Amino acid sequence: MTIQQILATELGIRLSQAEAAVKLIDEGNTIPFIARYRKEATGSLNDEVLRDLFERLTYLRALEERKAVILASIESQGKLDDTLREAIEAAQTMVVLEDLYRPYKPKRVTRAQIAKKRGLEGLAATILLQTAKEPLEKEAQRYVSAEKEVPDAAAALSGAQDIIAEMISDNAEYRAHVRKLTRDEGTVKSSTKDAEAESVYEMYYDFSEAVKKIAGHRVLALNRGEAEKFLQVKILAPEEEILHYLEKQLIVRDNPHTSPLLENACRDAYSRLIAPSIEREIRSELTEQAEDGAIRVFGKNLEQLLMCRPISGKVVLGWDPAFRTGCKLAVVDATGKVLDTAVIFPTAPQNKVAEAKVKLKELIEKHGVDLISLGNGTASRESEQVIVGLIRELQRPLSYVIVDEAGASVYSASKLATEEFPQFDVGQRSAASIARRLQDPLAELVKIDPKSIGVGQYQHDMNQKKLQAALGGVVESSVNRVGVDLNTASAALLSRVSGISGPIAKNIVEYRETNGVFRDRKELLKVPKLGPKTFEQCAGFLRIRDGKQPLDATGVHPESYKAAAELLKKLGLDAEEIKKGWKEQTPVKVSERVKDRKAMARELGIGEITLADILKELEKPGRDPREDMPAPILKEDVLSMEDLTPGMVLKGTVRNIVDFGAFVDIGVHQDGLVHVSRMSDKFVKHPLEVVHVGDIVEVKVVEVDLKKKRISLSMKL
C-alpha cells in the first residue's frame, strides 16, 4: 500500500482526498489555508482531519526512511534475503520494524557475543538440535580452552546458554507474542516505600489495574509519582504463560539432556532480556497514548477558551488582585487601548477600603467604565467583596466578571509584554491583560504560551515538542477561523496567521507604523520578506475595514476577487451596494438570487464549494464564529463557599475539562468538580461529549468540603 492509501484507510477518507492533501502539503501550503481555500481539491476536509493526516504522514515517511536505513545496514552485512526484505517492507509500525532489525542491529558487547568469540556457537547449535544421547558436559568438554578463556565444561555450557537466550530474545515473532500477552493480560502495579507519607498520590500507594484498561490520566499520575520518588511502578506480566509459550517454541523434543538447559535459556532470555525491554516499551506506549489523549483534551479545551465570546464595545477596568503589594488596576477603552492605571490597597494588611473606593469611583466616572474584569488569583475573594460594596454605592449600572487569570503573570513578565507596555510595571501589564481577556480572549491569549493557560492536565510532564506542535496548531486554526484585522492586530496575533512567521509579523507592524494603515490587501506585498507565496497563504485571513476594495473586509481570497466581481455583475449588483448593506446591517440576500448554483459556478469557472463560500461572505462579511458561544456571566453580588449547601442549583462556567470530569466556576473562587458519572443519565465515555470550556451550565451542589476546599457538583438536576 502507498502512504496515501494507508492515510485514506486510517482516516476514513477517499484516496483522492488523501492524495490531494499530501500534494498540497508538499507544495508548502498551511493547514488553515488548505482547509479554507482548497476545499474543491480535498473534498472539504476540515483542519482537524488535515492535522491528523499531516501527523500520520510525518510518521509514515519517517517509517519509510527508517526502513531504507535498516535494509541498507542488513544488506551491508550480507544477511538480507527476500523473505526478510518483504517482512521489513511490510512493517507498519516502528516497533515491528525494530523487532525485525534487532538480530542484525550493532549491539554493545553482550554475554552472547563474548561466548561467540570464545568459539561456543557450535556447542549452542548442537544443543538446539536436541538429539544428545548423553550428558551435555561430555560435549561441552570439547570446547574447554584456556586460550579462549573457557576453563571448564560448566563455563562452556553457560556461554552456550547465553547465545541461545539472545537468539530467543532477538526473535521478532517471539517478542511480538510476549508483547501481546503482556498487553492483554498484564497489570500495572504501583507501591510505595512509605505508606504514611502524605501526598497527592496516596490512592496509588497500593494500586493495580489491567494494562489494557488503565486510563490515561492514571498513567500520567503514576509517571509523575514515580518521578517525584513517591511511587514504584511495575508491569506484572503473566510470566508462567510466557515461559510456557517460549519453551513450546524452542523445545521440539523431550530430551532429558538438553531440555533443562533450554528451559533455563528461556527463563534467562525472558527475565534478563525480553521482560525489561517489553516493560519499557509498554510503559512508553501507555505514556504516549496517555499523552496523546491529554493533548487532544488540552487542544479541545484551548480551542473553546480561545473561541470564547468577546465582550466588545465596552470600557473595561482590569483588576489584578493581591494582598501586601496592592491590587493593580488598568482601564482599557473599547479597542483595548490602556487609558489609565492605578494601585489600590483594599485588602490585608493595609485594608484601605474607603480610600480604594474613592479611587475606583474616580476611574469609573472619568472613563465611563462599563465592566470590571477581576482576576481569580490570590485576594480575589476579598477584592470581590469590595467590588460588590462599590456597585451598591454607585448611581450607575456596573457589573463584574471573574476572569481566569492563568498565564497573566507569565505574559506580564515576558519580553513581548515589555515591548508592548515599556512604561508599565509587571502588575499594570497583568491588569491590562486581564481587562483585554474579557474584550477579546483570542487576541490576548495568543500572547501566552498555551501550556500556561491552565486548561490541561500534566502538561509539563509530557513530550513538549509534540504538545507545542499540537497546541500551536489549535491556536493557528482558531485565529484563522476568526480572521484578523490587519490594521489593529499585534505582532503576536499576526504571527499566528497562516503563512506569517514571527519576523514577518514584526515587519507588518513596522510597515503599518511607518506608512499608516493598509488600504488594501495587495499592499502587503510591499512588506519586507513577504513574498507571493506568503501572500497567498495569509491574505484571505486578514481583514481591512473601509479599505479601497470592499472584498478585503471579507474572507473571500484575492484569487477569487475576479469571480466575485463577475458574480455581482451577473446579479446586477456592485461592490458599493453590497458594502452599504453591510454598514446598515441590511445585507443583500445574494444567495437567494442564485437559482442554479451548479450552472453559476460553471459560468464563473470556479467550484460549487467556492461559490457557496463567496455567497456566504457577501452576505455576512467576516462573520465572527464566536458570536455563537455563550456570553460570560455578569455578576453584581458575591457568593462564598460557606454559602453553598447540598441541593443548591447554580449557573457556572466550565473552566477546564479532564478525562474524569469538568471543573466549573460557580463564582466562589474555588471551581467545583462535576465527575463524568454525574454529567448525564446516559453513559458518558468522556466529558467532551457533554461540555466544552466556556459553556454556561446549570449544576447542583452535591457536597462541600471546606477543609480541603473541594466542591462536588452534578449536572443531573
Q: Can you give the pLDDT at residue 450?
A: 86
Same structural domain, 146 and 258: yes
- H, E, C per residue of 517-537: CCCCHHHHHHCCCCCHHHHHH
Is residue 443 classed as helix, strand or coil in its secondary structure?
helix
Task: Evaluate whether residue 352 is within a structural domain.
Answer: yes
Same structural domain, 153 and 257: yes
Q: CA-to-CA distance for 669 and 365, rounded, in angstroms?
A: 28
Q: CA-to-CA distance for 177 and 307, rounded, in angstroms?
A: 47
The conformation of residue 142, written as its DSSP 8-state character, comes to G
Is residue 348 classed as helix, strand or coil in its secondary structure?
coil
Same structural domain, 661 and 587: no
Same structural domain, 285 and 327: no
User: Does 209 have pLDDT greater than 90?
Assistant: yes
How much is the pTM? 0.83
Mean pLDDT lowest among 71-75, 166-170, 311-315, 520-524: 311-315
Same structural domain, 286 and 328: no
User: Does 627 have pLDDT greater than 90?
Assistant: no
User: Does 249 have pLDDT greater than 90?
Assistant: yes
Q: CA-to-CA distance for 86 and 72, rounded, in angstroms?
A: 14
Q: Which domain holds residue 48?
A: 3-104
User: Taking the CB of residue 27, how many other CB atoms lie within 10 A of it?
Assistant: 10
Residues near 564 by beta carbon (within 8 Å), at least 6 away in sequence = 551, 556, 614, 618
Mean pLDDT lowest among 200-204, 217-221, 468-472, 665-669: 665-669
Same structural domain, 515 and 417: no
Q: CA-to-CA distance for 261 and 358, rounded, in angstroms?
A: 90
Beta bridge partners of 320: 328
What whole-number percentage of the chain has pLDDT above 90? 78
Highest mean pLDDT among 286-300, 470-484, 530-544: 530-544
pLDDT, tens digit (0-9, with 9 covering 90-100), for 357-375: 999 999 999 999 999 999 9
| Structural domains of the chain, count | 5
Task: Evaluate whether residue 346 is within a structural domain.
Answer: yes
pLDDT, tens digit (0-9, with 9 covering 90-100), for 4-61: 999 999 999 999 999 999 999 999 999 999 999 999 999 999 999 999 999 999 999 9
Same structural domain, 349 and 290: no
Q: Can you give the pLDDT at residue 578?
A: 84
Confidence category of residue 638, pLDDT binned at 50, 70, 90: low
Confidence category of residue 545, pLDDT binned at 50, 70, 90: confident
Domain harbouring 523, CATH code: 1.10.150.310
The C-alpha R_g of the chain, in whole angstroms, comes to 33
Q: CA-to-CA distance for 702 and 54, rounded, in angstroms?
A: 44
Task: Evaluate whether residue 19 is within a structural domain.
Answer: yes
Residue in the structure block whose three cell numbers are 576453563: 151
pLDDT, tens digit (0-9, with 9 covering 90-100), for 278-296: 999 999 999 999 999 999 9
Residues near 653 by beta carbon (within 8 Å), at least 6 away in sequence = 632, 633, 664, 665, 694, 695, 696, 697
Q: Can you give the pLDDT at residue 126?
A: 96
Of the candidates 570, 602, 628, which is a domain's last residue? 628
Domain harbouring 85, CATH code: 1.10.10.650
Cell of 639: 457568593
Q: Can you give the pLDDT at residue 668?
A: 82
Q: CA-to-CA distance for 244 and 520, rounded, in angstroms?
A: 75
Domain harbouring 164, CATH code: 1.10.3500.10
User: Does 459 have pLDDT greater than 80?
Assistant: no
User: Does 103 have pLDDT greater than 80?
Assistant: yes
Q: CA-to-CA distance for 625 and 627, rounded, in angstroms?
A: 5
Mean pLDDT value across residues 101-115: 93
Confidence category of residue 682, pLDDT binned at 50, 70, 90: very high
Mean pLDDT value across residues 682-704: 92
Q: CA-to-CA distance for 638 and 157, rounded, in angstroms?
A: 81
Under a CB-based contact definition with an 8 Å cutoff, are residues 633 and 401 in contact? yes
Cell of 545: 475595514
Beta bridge partners of 232: 191
Mean pLDDT value across residues 239-249: 97
Mean pLDDT lowest among 295-299, 306-310, 413-417, 622-626: 622-626
Domain harbouring 686, CATH code: 2.40.50.140
Task: Evaluate whether residue 710 is within a structural domain.
Answer: yes
Same structural domain, 257 and 136: yes
Task: Evaluate whether residue 491 is within a structural domain.
Answer: no
Same structural domain, 26 and 66: yes
Mean pLDDT value across residues 342-356: 96
Cα 168 versus chain centre, distance: 40
Instruction: Please give the residue that has the higher pLDDT: either 223 or 579.
Output: 223
Task: Evaluate whether residue 460 is within a structural domain.
Answer: no
Under a CB-based contact definition with an 8 Å cutoff, are residues 10 and 54 in contact? no
Is residue 333 classed as helix, strand or coil in its secondary structure?
coil
Q: Can you give the pLDDT at residue 643?
A: 85
Same structural domain, 620 and 648: no
Q: What's phi and psi for 342, nearest 5 deg?
A: -160, 165
Residues near 128 by beta carbon (within 8 Å), at least 6 away in sequence = 164, 262
Mean pLDDT value across residues 560-571: 94
Cell of 332: 482599557
Of the candidates 55, 88, 104, which is a domain's last residue? 104
Under a CB-based contact definition with an 8 Å cutoff, are residues 189 and 207 in contact? yes
Residue in the structure block whose three cell numbers are 510470566: 239
Supply the mean pLDDT for the chain.
93
Of the candidates 628, 658, 682, which is a domain's last residue? 628
Same structural domain, 211 and 76: no
| Amino acid letter, residue 635 | K
User: Does 542 have pLDDT greater than 80?
Assistant: yes
Under a CB-based contact definition with an 8 Å cutoff, are residues 100 and 87 in contact? yes
Task: Evaluate whether residue 633 is within a structural domain.
Answer: no
Task: Evaluate whether residue 534 is within a structural domain.
Answer: yes
Same structural domain, 156 and 98: no
Q: Can you give the pLDDT at residue 407?
A: 82
Q: CA-to-CA distance for 44 and 39, rounded, in angstroms?
A: 4
Which residues in 274-303 are b (16+ Cβ under 10 Å) and which e?
Answer: bbeebbebbbeebbeebbbbbbebbbbbbb
| Amino acid letter, residue 214 | I
Q: CA-to-CA distance for 455 and 433, rounded, in angstroms?
A: 18
Mean pLDDT value across residues 528-546: 96
